[in-house]
Homo-oligomer: A and B are copies of this chain.
């Protein structure tokens, strides 16, 4: 079953609005733009993109069809890490399928097609940054599936670096867990990887890249994975029709740009060595096991973490976003809408490495789920600390009509580059409010 349910706010590219000149950056962006342009030329809508990506995958690599089960001809190697790219293989066109899941004809898979891309993402007017992106958008598309659905995700790497997908909070077959070097090789440039798993348990979950995680996860490779169930007690206790998915993000665009450029250069060297068959465990700091690593140390090899601190990057996010956009550009997605007497569900997902203290004005909402799992009690709060790795679901009951601020109460994260207001801030708006005595206007430099 080909699925069209992938949704999400596309990340518009606006080639006309120039970014400041920066020689180191431009080089990277040329690559990025080429990739993004190629991708977006295939279609403007997300479904179109996904179909096109799927077409590419199957057309270009027809000689390596996914095998129904077990280890395919190439692309999956048993034992202590395949390291096949070290042995001079060009991964271009390889399709990898981990074993463990039922074959295609044994269950009714819902199939999704995804890509790893590099794009230039506009966080808000005047601020663009190079980012990694699922299907060309930050955050990636929202999955909406039913509990126990069988999911098949065919993902193609259209960047020059390596990636994986980890399905955070999903209790899947461990070979599909997306942890490089532990459950799979990373997905190499131009390689296609196929994840198959059953979606369970129900609740608000997410997915993100698990390769070079501090950079890749933060710099765009994350998205919501919502598993619904008719047995969800929250729907029973708080009948609702609308729910909202808010992926909370902290971007260090300087770190991302510099690190991406550095990784990009390093990757080119790796690719060159690989093609010459000269890539070794020590060249890439990659070992078959702990003992091999210790032996390398004993032989005088120095791991990269022993470098002095001065050379190493630090991360200090200065832009904070909801679903990719910072205030006042959160307006572009529309406000969170509610009516008197209505319950709405808001799913908060931490898509970064900072803690976000979401404070809703004028209401005591119900905290109903944590990490996707319904809570045994519901507590009433007006502020919820969404720490890294967590999701929280809250239910707002429409009992206080108005226009209400909803923002990170670490006020430094309600800024754009330290200028208040900005960042992680949006609005709860009653649709049936009637005439507004003082409508919202915008100050971006209080």
Contact = CB atoms under 8 A, between A and B. Distances in A.
A369 to B, nearest CB: 10
A102 interface: no
B414 A213 contact: yes
Taken together, the copies of this chain in the complex come to: 3
A328 interface: yes
A328 B427 CA distance: 42
A190 to B, nearest CB: 19
A66 interface: no
Given A81-B441, A179-B405, A288-B441, A218 B417 contact: no
A55 B99 CA distance: 60
A176 to B, nearest CB: 10
Contact of A328 (B99, B290, B373, B409): B290
Nearest to A318: B309
A405 B409 CA distance: 29
A416 to B, nearest CB: 4
Main secondary structure of the interface of A (DSSP, over half): loop
Contact of A418 (B211, B312, B427): B312
A417 B99 contact: no
Nearest to A439: B80
A58 interface: no
Interface in A43-100: 71, 76-83, 98-100
A314 B213 contact: no
A401 interface: yes
Interface stretch (A104-112, A134-142, A146-154, A384-392): A384-392
A293 interface: yes
Contacts of A318: 309, 312
